[in-house]
Structure formats: C-alpha cells, structure tokens
Amino acid sequence: MDWLRGGPFFELSILLKEVDINDLVDKLFENQRIKIIDDNLNEKIDSYIIGYLYDEDDLDSVMIHSTSINLIVELLGERKSIVFIERVADETQLLNLCFYGAEHDAPEWGQLGIKDKDYKYFVDFLVELINDFNGIAGAVAYEEDILTVYASNSIRPDIVYSYKNFSSNLISEQFDLKSFIAICWNNEGLIEKRIFYD
C-alpha cells in the first residue's frame, strides 16, 4: 500500500455486471482521466483470473477473485488512487477506486486532500464511470462502498451481493449513511442520484 498512504480512504465504488478482467482494464485505459501506473499489470490480471481460496486449508472454501491496480486520476489535479477489482457474486464485480481522503494535502506523499467543495466533482466522476462501465449502481463515501446497501456481512463472493439483487429500495434509512456523499444507480439508462451533502 505504499502507493496510497494516509487516510481515511475516500472511495468511488461501482457495482457491475461481470465483464472479462482484460476488457475491464482496457476500459480503464480508455478513460482520459485515468492513467494506469503499475509495472506488474499482467501479473495482477493473472492473479485475478486464477484466484485463491478463502481458507487455504479447506479445498471446498469459496474462491476469491480480486486484484488492485495503481492509478493516477486527473480530478482537480493529479491524484494517486488504487482501484480494487473484486468478483463479489456470480456475474457481479465491484470496482472500487480509493483516494487519499483527508481534507488537507499531504505533499510529503504527493497526495491532494479532498474538501467538501470537491464532492460534486467526485459525484460527477462516479456518474461518468457508471456510464462508461454500464454500471448498476455506485457510491461516493468515506471508508464504505456500494455493497453497504446490502446490509450483509457475508463473505464475498456471495449471492446476496449479486447485481440482480440491487434495487433503489435498498437505499433506506435502515443503515448508517453518515459516511456517504452520494449513491447513484442506473435506472434504464438514466442515472438517479441520492446526495447526502449540502
């Protein structure tokens, strides 16, 4: 985690209908705001494809498919980011871009802070990514991702996190929303938003 230091993490997460990992990475390359800065990209793609057992001592345990890739994102300046890509259910992936989320810049780490006035630009970027990746739903939050709306602690992957189970009805007051900046979802090609900041 030397690429992204400090905290808290400011996260842009997107729930996707699963696509081939190579196609997903190619789509990241296509976005003009994103530069992939990772010398081991092919190894990371291979590790996602191969996966690993949740419990190495139990050959019947669930298989985990996940990887992380270092990025630079041009958003109100150049920002270091790590994108975590994880298969969270059959036919379902989570794309989670993490940024340094403290308010003040950390020049010693080459990281820009995020202020309240910047939230709008991150929400706009989330909408852009949901459109680019044909995403189901997404969130901007501190130390949380879109899977929080499922209100489950199940080990991933698990059917509970399937994109087929997502509904805007999941976004309710039943769970703690104080970490969320916005939740967006794709409603037949139109991106709906629920904003939690002023």
- Which pLDDT belongs to residue 12? 98
pLDDT at 176: 67
Whether residue 71 is contained in a domain is answered as yes
What is the tens place of the pLDDT at every residue in 95-111? 999 999 999 888 888 89
The radius of gyration of the chain's CA atoms, rounded to the nearest angstrom, is: 16
What number is the average pLDDT over the span 146-167?
Answer: 94
Tally of structural domains, the chain: 1
The arithmetic mean of pLDDT across residues 5-24, rounded, is 94
Instruction: Give domain status of residue 3, yes or no.
Output: no
Q: Could you tell me if residue 175 is inside a domain?
A: yes
Q: How confident is the model at residue 1, as a pLDDT?
A: 53
Structure confidence at residue 156 (pLDDT):
94
Question: Does pLDDT of 198 surpass 80?
Answer: no
How many residues appear in the chain? 198
Give this prediction's pTM.
0.93
Residue 175's pLDDT is 62
Residue closest to 35 by CA, chosen among 25, 50, 23: 25
**pLDDT for 148 beyond 70:** yes
Average pLDDT, the chain: 93
By percentage, how much of the chain surpasses pLDDT 70? 97
Look at residues 30, 45, 24 and name the one whose alpha carbon lies nearest to residue 134: 24
187 lies in some domain: yes
Q: What's residue 4's pLDDT?
A: 87
User: What 3-state class would DSSP assign to 192?
Assistant: strand
- Full residue range of the structural domain in which residue 144 is found: 9-52+61-195
Residue 47 has pLDDT above 90, yes or no: yes
Read off the pLDDT band of 197 (50, 70, 90).
Answer: confident
Is position 4 within any domain?
no
Residue 139 reports pLDDT greater than 70 = yes
166 domain-assigned: yes
| Strands annotated E in the chain | 9-17, 34-36, 52-53, 63-64, 66-74, 78-89, 92-100, 137-142, 180-187, 190-195
Quote the pLDDT of residue 178. Answer: 78
- Evaluate if residue 174 carries a pLDDT over 70: no
Task: State which of 5-14, 81-90, 108-117, 176-185 shows the largest mean pLDDT.
Answer: 81-90
**pLDDT value, residue 170:** 85
> What number of CA atoms fall less than 13 Å from residue 78's CA on the CB side?
8
